[in-house]
C-alpha cells in the first residue's frame, strides 16, 4: 500500500518515464499514458450486522482501454489508497500488453479489513460496490477480478448484483468466479503457475536444473502457494516462506533448511494465508522476523506479497547466492533497489511478465463465458503455459538483442503495443 514515505503511483510513473525515454515518445503519448483515462472514488454505505450503517470508501481506476476492455482486480484492504489503485491499473495495462491479450488496465479497491467483517457484511460491501460502479463497468467496458483479500465468493456476489441490476445473465462481467457458475478451471492456480513457468524458462537460459535450486518466498497467499506447488513439482526446494500474522499484527518468516512441506504448512494456515506461528514451530519450522525471507542463501527469490518490499534500504541484504528474482507481486521492487539488482547481474523477471498468468487466465475465463463453452483444466493450463512462455521468449530475445535489462525489455514491448493502439485509434 502507499504510505507517506512511498507512493506506488509515483513509482509507476517513474518506470513509465524511463521507458518513454527509451522509446522516444512524443509529449502527447507521454501525457496520455502516464495518467489514467478515468477514475472513480465513491462511498459504499453498508448495513452492519448490529444494525448500524458504516460508510466505506471505494475506488475504480481505468488506466487505458485502447487495446480492449479494462481488466483488473478488486482489493479489500484497510490501507488502500487511490494512488495505489492508480499504479496497479497502470501496471495492468502493461501486463495485458506484454502477454498480448486484447485488454486494457484497470484496478479497484475498498478500504476495509475482511478480517474484522462477517460474511454478510462483506457481501453487502460487494453489492454496494456494484451499485455504485455498475453503470461504468461491464463485460465490454471494464471487467473486475479477485485480488488481495477478495475471493471467488466475492466475485459471485458482485456478479449476482450486476445481473439483478441489468436484468440479464452476463457472466463475462467479472472473472475469478467459482467453477460451475461461470468460473474457469485453472484460474486459482494461474498466477502462481505463471510465475513458475517464467522461472522455468529463466533456468533454461541460465543452464540450471530446477532440481538443483532452492527458493525463498515472500507471502503465503494464493499466488505463493501455487507457485511453491509447481516449483516443487519441477524438483526445486523452498526453504523459507513469510506471511502476515493478523493476530500479532506482525510478519514472520518460517524456515526449514531441508525444505518446507506445503501440505503441512497449509494445515496450519488461515484463509488469508496467515501461518499460525506456534503450530508451525511444533512442526519443526524456525520462526524468524518477517523480512528474513530476503536474506536467505537461495538461488531464487519470489516476492509474492504487496508493493515496495525490496527497497534501497534492504536490497543489500540479498544473498550473493541469488541468481533469479521472480516478481510474483505487483511493484515489489523500488526503482532504487532495481538499479542495484541490475548492477549485480541478478536475472530479474519483472512483475508485468512474471505474474501475468492471473490476467491471462481471466481472459480465458471471459472468452469461455462469452462462448458459453468451458475447457478442461489441462487445456486451460496448457494455453496459459504457451502464452507465458511466448511472452517470456519475446522479452528475453529483445533483452539479449539490445543488451537491455529484462524489466526494460518487457516495458518497451508493452508500452510500444499500447502506444500503437492509441495511435491507430487516432487518440494521439
Respond yes or no: is residue 107 known to be catalytic: yes
Catalytic residue among 107, 256, 277, 387: 107
- Grid coordinates representing 274 are 496467515
What is the edge-to-edge ordering of all strands in the sheet holding 142-146?
38-47, 53-64, 104-111, 70-77, 142-146
Q: Which residues are catalytic?
A: 107
Amino acid at each position: 500500500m502507499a504510505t507517506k514515505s512511498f507512493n506506488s503511483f509515483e513509482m509507476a510513473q517513474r518506470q513509465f518515464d524511463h521507458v518513454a525515454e527509451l522509446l522516444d515518445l512524443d509529449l502527447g503519448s507521454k501525457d496520455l499514458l502516464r495518467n489514467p483515462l478515468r477514475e472513480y472514488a465513491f462511498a459504499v454505505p453498508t448495513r452492519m450486522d448490529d444494525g448500524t450503517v458504516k460508510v466505506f470508501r471505494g475506488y475504480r481506476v481505468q488506466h487505458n482501454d485502447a487495446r480492449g476492455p479494462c481488466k483488473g482486480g478488486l482489493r479489500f484492504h484497510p490501507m488502500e489508497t487511490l494512488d495505489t489503485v492508480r499504479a496497479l491499473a497502470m501496471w495492468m495495462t502493461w501486463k495485458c500488453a506484454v502477454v498480448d491479450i486484447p485488454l486494457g488496465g484497470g484496478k479497484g479497491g475498498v478500504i476495509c479489513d475482511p478480517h474484522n467483517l462477517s460474511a454478510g457484511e462483506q457481501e453487502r460491501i460487494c453489492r454496494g460496490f456494484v451499485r455504485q460502479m455498475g453503470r461504468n463497468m461491464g463485460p465490454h467496458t471494464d471487467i473486475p477480478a479477485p485480488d488481495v483479500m477478495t475471493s471467488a465468493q466475492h466475485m459471485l456476489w458482485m456478479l449476482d448484483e450486476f445481473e439483478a441490476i441489468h436484468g440479464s445473465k452476463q457472466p463475462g462481467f467479472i472473472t475469478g468466479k467459482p467453477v460451475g457458475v461461470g468460473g474457469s478451471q485453472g484460474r486459482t492456480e494461474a498466477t502462481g503457475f505463471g510465475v513458475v513457468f517464467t522461472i522455468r524458462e529463466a533456468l533454461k537460459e541460465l543452464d540450471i536444473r530446477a532440481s538443483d535450486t532452492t527458493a525463498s518466498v515472500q507471502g503465503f497467499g494464493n499466488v505463493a502457494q501455487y507457485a511453491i506447488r509447481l516449483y516443487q513439482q519441477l524438483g526445486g526446494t523452498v526453504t523459507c516462506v513469510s506471511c502476515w500474522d493478523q493476530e500479532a499484527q506482525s510478519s514472520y518468516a518460517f524456515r526449514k533448511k531441508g525444505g518446507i512441506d506445503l501440505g503441512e504448512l497449509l494445515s496450519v494456515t488461515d484463509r488469508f494465508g496467515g501461518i499460525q506461528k506456534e503450530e508451525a514451530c511444533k512442526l519443526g519450522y524456525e520462526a524468524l522476523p518477517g523480512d528474513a525471507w530476503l536474506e536467505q542463501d537461495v538461488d531464487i527469490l519470489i516476492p509474492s506479497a504487496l508493493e515496495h518490499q525490496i527497497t534501497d534500504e534492504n536490497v543489500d541484504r540479498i544473498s550473493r547466492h541469488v541468481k533469479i528474482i521472480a516478481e510474483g507481486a505487483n511493484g515489489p521492487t523500488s526503482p532504487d533497489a532495481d538499479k542495484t539488482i541490475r548492477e549485480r547481474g541478478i536475472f530479474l523477471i519483472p512483475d508485468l511478465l512474471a505474474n501475468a498468468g492471473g490476467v491471462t487466465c481471466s481472459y480465458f475465463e471471459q472468452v469461455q463465458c462469452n462462448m458459453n463453452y468451458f475447457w478442461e483444466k489441462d487445456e486451460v493450463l496448457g494455453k496459459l503455459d504457451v502464452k507465458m512462455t511466448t511472452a517470456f521468449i519475446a522479452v528475453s530475445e529483445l533483452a539479449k538483442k539490445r543488451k537491455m535489462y529484462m524489466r526494460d525489455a518487457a516495458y518497451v514491448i508493452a508500452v510500444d503495443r499500447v502506444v500503437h493502439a492509441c495511435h491507430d485509434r487516432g487518440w494521439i
